[in-house]
Amino acid sequence: MTTVGFIGLGIMGGPMAANLVTAGFEVIGYNRTPAKTERLVERGGRAAGGVAEAVRDADIVATMLPDSPDVRAVLTEVFEHARPGTLVIDFSTIRPDVAAELAAEGGERGFRVLDAPVSGGEQGAIDGTLSIAVGGADRDLADAVPVLEVVGGTVVHVGPSGAGQTVKAANQLIVAGNLQLLAEAIVFLEAHGVDTNAALQVLRGGMAGSTVLERKGASMVARDFEPGFRVELHDKDMGIVTSAAREAGVVIPLGAAVAQLLAALRAQGDGGLDHSALYALVSRLSGRDV
C-alpha cells in the first residue's frame, strides 16, 4: 500500500486527503489547526502530531498550504525528515520562482518535487475533479499519476518546475477578472430593474458563459459570500500574478485593475469572505446596499 503524508487539510486539502483514503491510499495527515484532521480520521486516515511524523514513512508527500513562505517552511522540514527519493507533490498556489527554487533544493537532497497547483474550488476538491497544471520531470509525473488521478479530473504536464505555478497564476488572473465582470454585470442588471435570474439564464447560453457564472452567479444574486475561496488568498495570488507579469515584461491592464479591487475588498475588512464578494465591492462603489 502506498503511504501519503498530507500536510495542510483546509477547505481544499481536507477533501483531497479524504478522497485519497477512499481510493485506497494510507494517508497520514497533519494540520496546524488539529480540528481539521477530523474528516480525514473519520474516513480512515491517521492524524500526525507534526510534519516529521506525517512524512517519516511516506512514499509520497503532498502539501496544500496557503502561501510561498508556508510551503518553504514545510518543505524544509520534509527534506529533513522524509526518506530521500520520496516524491513531493505541492498542490499549493505559490510563486513560480519559489516553486522552481524548492524543486532544485529538494533535487540536491535526493527528493523529487513537482509543482501541481489546482483549480476547481472546494466543489472540485470534494468531487475529485480538480484541474491540475503540473511542472517538473516527466518521470516524476508518471509516478505521481495514481495520486493526481484521484484528486483531479484534468491533469496536464505544462513544463519544467515552476511552469505549473505560472499556469495557475494565469488561471487566477482569469478567474478574478471573470468574477469582477460578472459582479459588474449583475449590479448593472439589478440597477436597471431586469429579472436577474432570467438574465443569467440567457447569459449562460451565449458567449458570456463561464464556469465562474455557473458556480457564482446565483450566489452573487443571493448575496451568499460563504467561502469557498477567500478574498485574502486570491489577493495573495494577484500579488504573484502582477509580479510574475512584471518580471516577464507583460502588461496586464485588467489583471492589474482587478488586483487593486481585491486589495480594496480585503482592506475594507472582507478578506475572509468568498472571492465572489467582489459583488459587494461593486455594489458599495455604486452606492447601493448589499
Query: Do the beta carbons of residue 151 and residue 118 sit within 8 Å?
Result: yes
Smaller CB separation from a second copy, 35 or 202: 202
DSSP state at residue 266: I
Residue 236 bears catalytic tag? no
Smaller CB separation from a second copy, 45 or 124: 124
Instruction: Choose which of 12, 167, 238, 277 interacts with a second copy (CB under 8 A).
Output: 167
β-pairing, 87-90 with 112-115? parallel
3-state per-residue secondary structure call for 185-206: HHHHHHHCCCCHHHHHHHHHHC
Instruction: Choose which of 36, 112, 157, 230 interacts with a second copy (CB under 8 A).
Output: 157
Q: Which stretch binds a second copy (CB under 8 A): 4-12, 81-89, 124-132, 143-151?
A: 124-132
Instruction: Choose which of 50, 84, 201, 223 interacts with a second copy (CB under 8 A).
Output: 201
Q: Which stretch binds a second copy (CB under 8 A): 7-15, 19-27, 103-111, 127-135?
A: 127-135
Residues 101-120 that bind a second copy (CB under 8 A): 118-120
Our finding on whether 154 is near a second copy (CB under 8 A) is yes
Q: Which stretch binds a second copy (CB under 8 A): 1-9, 27-35, 55-63, 185-193?
A: 185-193
Our finding on whether 192 is near a second copy (CB under 8 A) is yes
170 burial type by CB count under 10 A (0-12 exposed, 13-18 middle, 19+ buried): middle
Q: Which stretch binds a second copy (CB under 8 A): 1-9, 143-151, 163-171, 219-227?
A: 163-171
β-pairing, 46-47 with 60-63? unpaired
Our finding on whether 31 is near a second copy (CB under 8 A) is no
Pairwise CA distance, residues 8 & 126, whole Å: 15
Instruction: Choose which of 37, 86, 93, 210 interacts with a second copy (CB under 8 A).
Output: 210
Our finding on whether 217 is near a second copy (CB under 8 A) is no
**Rg for the chain (alpha carbons), in Å?**
20
168 burial type by CB count under 10 A (0-12 exposed, 13-18 middle, 19+ buried): buried
| Of 55, 53, 62, 113, the residue nearest 92 (C-alpha) | 62
Query: Do the beta carbons of residue 26 and residue 33 sit within 8 Å?
Result: no
Smaller CB separation from a second copy, 48 or 186: 186
